[in-house]
Chain A
Amino acid sequence: MFRNQYDSDVTVWSPQGRLHQVDYAVEAMKQGSATVGIRSETHAVIVALKRAQNELCSHQKKIYEIDTHSGVSIAGLLSDGRILARYLQTECSSWRWDYKLPIPIKKLTESMQLKLQANTQYYGRRPFGVGLLVAGYDKDGAHIIQTEPSAEVVSMKASSIGARSQSARTYLERNVDKFENASADELIVHALLALRDTLPAEENLSAQNTSIGIVGKDRPFTILADTQVGLHLDAVATHPRSNAQQGHGQAPAAAPEPMQQ
């Protein structure tokens, strides 16, 4: 029944010093539709691919507002993600009660890491089967934080998690040097191009299946409306598909002109 005798519970170490249940939870995250996050000096953007179970069903909610200075996108078990998003919202609001200020992103993500870690250690719990990308802006600048079910929480220049996210990461790694000084609109285009690379050739991004969240200097966190998403997708459509899925073709060399909101 089990792959080995050390994988039935999170509270069991394998002889090699691994936690198999935790590794399996990371696999759950990899099943979820992809999400991409990128930050510049002044902005952080998260984009996500929404799936619909069938034609009669609405699309999943993949991006949540956490506070005016932060939002989160989810890959994996969405109901686990919703719980964590609610947790982050609660942390933000109680910080505002105490200090009358938004919570520093570092503090927010450290609390998150401790919560995730507890679920990899205590008997009777399971790890969260979900990965998050937290986008935030505070006095330390713009942040993209990636979390995993294993409680690995790390601050990134850019990140992608979820199904076929390797293709997105390939795009991000090739273009990582362009992000630091990019404008908000350029960041969105980069993120959408990376996200598009996670799709099979016959599918494409649409205003229905794409979610965009942005936060930055003088810009509270917002989830863009479908019409705005459509405008950004128009800008992306001018770039040829990289066909990263097939392993050939090239990522577009330069970011396009900033577009109107």
Chain B
Amino acid sequence: MMHHDELQRTLNPTCTGTSVIAMQYKTGVVVMTDRVVSYGKTARYKNVSRQYKVNDNVLVAFGGDHADFQWLQNVIERQALFWKRFDQEIGPKALHGYLTSLLYARRCKMNPLWNTLIVAGIEEEEKNNKETSTPFIGVITQKGCAYQVKHVATGIGAMLLNQAVEDSWRKKGGDITRAEAEAVLKKALELTIYHDCTADNDFEIGSVDSEDGVNLGKEETIIGDWSIAETNCQYE
């Protein structure tokens, strides 16, 4: 029973996206998301992107509630316009900082945004000097907990994939090419479709590169190897 002056917030997200997997390579960042919107465990809508291009240096990908992110997308769009007021393009570090402040403020009001955000991009230390630019991946959780990483898997991917992604990264000594990074992401996605019932095998890989800028990926599909499935006693 709720008292008249009590207030209950939304306790569950509705239309959601699952894991985001991102990785830095020598001159940029690659980000992978699948393209399905889940309604509970139902695959409710297909062919929906979970990546948003902010400008030529920044890409934001998300997991969690689609409606919340659509609102956030407008916030980000306004933020990008705000920075243009003083002749600047917002960089990934500043956007990551801003969204951290926002998500933390919202959770302090007991009204969190139901998203995990990945801000990926190229951070310029000096304007028009690519030598000093560095790849950037920043994560923000629903509660406003934020950190920067070389590579990450979020959502259920955090439980399933972080070790796998880390191992592949270390095998290459951290100095990997774009093609190698993409191969790791695809392998990781394969693992999610085996284990995460809300993951889909239609996906996209977006990238931010110090030369090419932001590229939103094309739709791709992965099937994987299901031969082992027959040995699963619950498989019919």
Direct chain A–B contact by Cβ atoms under 8 Å: yes
Chain A interface (Cβ within 8 Å of chain B)? 97-101, 104, 106-107, 110, 139-141
Q: Does B100 contact A (CB under 8 A)?
A: yes
The answer to whether A140 and B127 touch (CB under 8 A), given A104-B88, A106-B88, is: yes
A-B contact pairs, 16 of them (CB 8 A): A97-B101, A98-B101, A99-B101, A100-B97, A100-B100, A101-B93, A101-B94, A101-B97, A104-B88, A106-B87, A107-B86, A139-B125, A139-B126, A139-B127, A140-B127, A141-B127
Interface residues on B, range: 10 to 19
CA distance A104 to B84 in the complex (A): 12
B71 to chain A, nearest CB (A): 19
Q: A101: which B residues are within 8 A, CB to CB?
A: 93-94, 97
- Given contact pairs A106-B86, A106-B88, A110-B86, a sample of 17 additional A-B residue pairs in the complex whose CB atoms are under 8 Å apart: A99-B94, A99-B101, A100-B93, A100-B100, A100-B101, A101-B97, A104-B86, A104-B88, A106-B87, A107-B86, A107-B88, A110-B85, A139-B126, A139-B127, A140-B127, A141-B126, A141-B127
Q: In the complex, A107→B87 CA distance in Å?
A: 9
How many Å lie between the Cα of A202 and that of B86 in the bound state? 46
Residues 95-141 of B at the A interface (beta carbon under 8 Å): 96-98, 100-101, 124-127
Residues of B within 8 A of A97 (CB): 101
Known: A139-B124, A139-B125, A141-B127. A98 touches B97 (CB 8 A): yes
Q: How far is the CB of A93 from chain B (nearest CB, A)?
A: 13
Q: Which residues from B are CB-within-8-Å of A141?
A: 126-127
- A99 touching B125, Cβ below 8 Å: no
The 10 A-B residue pairs whose C-beta atoms are closest, nearest first, are A100-B97, A99-B97, A107-B86, A106-B86, A99-B94, A140-B127, A139-B127, A99-B98, A101-B94, A139-B126
Residues of B within 8 A of A100 (CB): 93, 96-97, 100-101
- Chain B residues near A139: list those with CB within 8 A: 124-127
Interchain nearest-CB distance for B57 vs A (Å) = 12
Contacts of A140 in B (CB 8 A): 127
With both beta carbons as reference points, the residue of chain A lying nearest to B125 in the complex is identified as: A139
Smallest CB separation, B101 vs chain A (Å): 5
- Min CB gap B83→A, angstroms: 8
Question: Across the interface, which residues of A come within 8 angstroms of B125, CB to CB?
Answer: 139
Chain A residue at minimal CB-CB distance from B96: A100
The CA-CA distance from A140 to B124 in the complex, in Å, is 10
